Every structure is written in C-alpha cells, then in structure tokens.
Amino acid sequence: MAVNEEATITATTTKASTKEAVRARRVAIERRARLIQIGRIIAIIIIVLISLAPLYWTFITSIKSPAEATASPPTLFPHSFTLDNYIQDFTSSPFFLLDLRNSFIISVITTVLCLLFGVLCAYALARIKFRGRTLVQATVLSVNTFPFIAIVGPLFVLFTGSFYIYNTYAALIIPDIVLSLPLTIWLLTSFFKDLPLDLEEAARIDGDSRLGALWHVIVPLTAPGVFAAAILSFIAVWNDFIFGLNLATDSSAQPVTVAISLFNGQYSVNYGQLAAAAMIVTVPLVILVLIFQRRIVSGLTSGAVKG
C-alpha cells in the first residue's frame, strides 16, 4: 500500500515537473521570438533612418536661409523656413526648367524603346530555341557590368564626327538604351519563361501569328513584369549624369541632372538652390515609386517564383 502511494506521488511529481519544463520551454521560446521581433524592428528603424538621412538633410538645406545653410556648425533642425530657393531655381535659372523638360522627354522615349526592343528580345530568348542562346543571354547580362564611362570617349568622337548627332536627344537616348535595355531583357525573360506555353499555342490555334500571340496574350499576362521594367528603366535614365554631361552642352538636350551641377559658381556654392533643385528632381521619383510600389514588388518577385 505504501509502495503504491509512493509510486503515485512520484508519478504526480514527474508529471508536474514535465509540465513545468514544457511551460518553461514555451516561455523561453516566446521570449526568444519576442526578442528577435524587437531586434528586427530596431534593425528596420536603423536602416530606414540611415536611408532617409540624406533626403532629410537635403530637404532642410533647401528650406534654410543662405546664412543658415552655410553656418558652422550646421543646424540639424532649421531655425528659418523659406521657399526662396525653390522659386529662384525656376526664376533665376531658366535652363533648369528646360533641362527638366529634356529629362522627361529623354526618359519617356528611352523607356518606350527599351520596352519595345526588350519584349521582342526577351521573347526570343525565352521561347525560341537557337544555337548560341546562352551566349546571347550572358552577353546581355555582361553589359551591365561594363563601366559606361569607358564608352563616353568613343561616343563623343562618333557623335561629333561623320555621324553628327551631338547635343541632340538622339545622342542621349542611344547610350541610355544601352544602359537600360539589359535589365529590361533580363527581367522580362524570366517572366516569359514562367508563362505556360499552352496559352500561346491556344492563341495561335485561334489564328494569331507568333507576334500577335506575343502582344495579345503574353504581354498582357506579364503586365506586372512589364510595368516593373518600365519603372526601373525610367528611373535609370532619369538619374543618368555621365552621358548628359559629356554628350550635351546646353539646354537644347541637356538633362536636369547636369543642370543641378550648374548651380555651383566659380568661387562659391549656393547650397540652398542646389538642395532645392535636388529635391525637385528626386521627389517625383519618390512619389512614383510610392504610388506603384505594389506593382514594382509584384513585378520583381513574380518572375522569380515558379508555378
């Protein structure tokens, strides 16, 4: 009888100890998960602050008075607020507005041409089997690793020689296509490869040609990828500085990225106008990305997922 009671007590104690151990382990796991979550939030906050710091500093410089913008030590929070720098960018510098227009025209035309050529090239690489296809893909991707400043000299000689298009939109659109087209082809190729071949075959059975099936079926179904490629191409061309600086000399074709550098005088730098011009050029891109961020993310991730 005593042995049974002792065994019962031992079993009860063991069960209680087991429950305690399980509860302690669960608490430890939850605590660890909470700490990991807090660490992730802190890391995200730090990354966001570091990323936004240049934009914040540019903005507060653009609304400071000239005296405060050049004060030492600099003020982290502006003591004055003025929009004179933005007004002067458009009134005292007529070239700025013209160069802003040039950047928009060049970016739009380049993006449209990149999508046109990119869709055709990506379709050929994804759907048509031919000898040397892997070599073509590798060559296209290797273009992005090439230092574009190395081709500025040859392009300058070419565009100012017999093939004279220097200081025109064409002189900037051609190298910008070289800059943006590889990314467009690479992104769209992954989308076209993941699209079921049956859809294209059904369109061709219904009487569409190969090109018709491409434009009527494949392109609409891969709209997220096409949209992402268009946005990324537009941003790359809008931010171009090297080609604009060396292949255009005045506001007839000069992009706005070059116009920003012209706010530097020979003996002084107008930091307020320079920062205001940078904000004017940057904010439209930020707004564009924020509005279409879901489409961009969808375009960048959908092509990487099979099924």
* Residue 301 pLDDT class (50, 70, 90 cuts): low
* DSSP-derived 3-state class of residue 169: helix
Question: Among residues 262, 260, 254, 288, which one has the least CA distance to residue 168?
Answer: 254
CA dihedral 79, 84, 89, 91 (to 10 degrees): -170
d(CA 80, CA 98): 30
Other CB atoms within a 10 A radius of the CB of residue 210 amount to 12
- The residue count of the chain comes to 307
Degrees, nearest 5: CA angle 195-179-186: 15
Q: What is the pLDDT of residue 295?
A: 66
Question: Among residues 143, 128, 134, which one has the least CA distance to residue 175?
Answer: 143
Q: For 31-72, what is each residue's pLDDT tens digit?
A: 888 888 999 999 999 998 998 898 899 899 888 888 888 887
| β-bridge mates for residue 264, sequence order | 269
Q: What is the pLDDT of residue 8?
A: 56
Q: What is the pLDDT of residue 41?
A: 92
The domain segmentation of the chain, as residue ranges, is: 2-69, 85-306
Question: Among residues 243, 244, 248, which one has the least CA distance to residue 151?
Answer: 243
Round the average pLDDT of the chain to a whole number and report it. 82
Once rounded to an integer, what is the mean pLDDT over residues 203-230?
80
Other CB atoms within a 10 A radius of the CB of residue 285 amount to 14
- What is the Rg, in whole angstroms, of the alpha carbon atoms belonging to the chain? 29
* Residue 111 pLDDT class (50, 70, 90 cuts): very high
Q: For 117-171, what is each residue's pLDDT tens digit?
A: 999 888 888 888 878 778 888 888 788 777 888 888 888 888 988 788 898 999 9
Q: CATH classification of 85-306 is 1.10.3720.10, yes or no?
A: yes
On whether the CB atoms of residues 204 and 271 are closer than 8 A, the answer is no
Q: For 75-91, what is each residue's pLDDT tens digit?
A: 888 888 888 888 888 88
Other CB atoms within a 10 A radius of the CB of residue 307 amount to 3
Q: Is the pLDDT of residue 307 over 70?
A: no
On whether the CB atoms of residues 136 and 126 are closer than 8 A, the answer is no
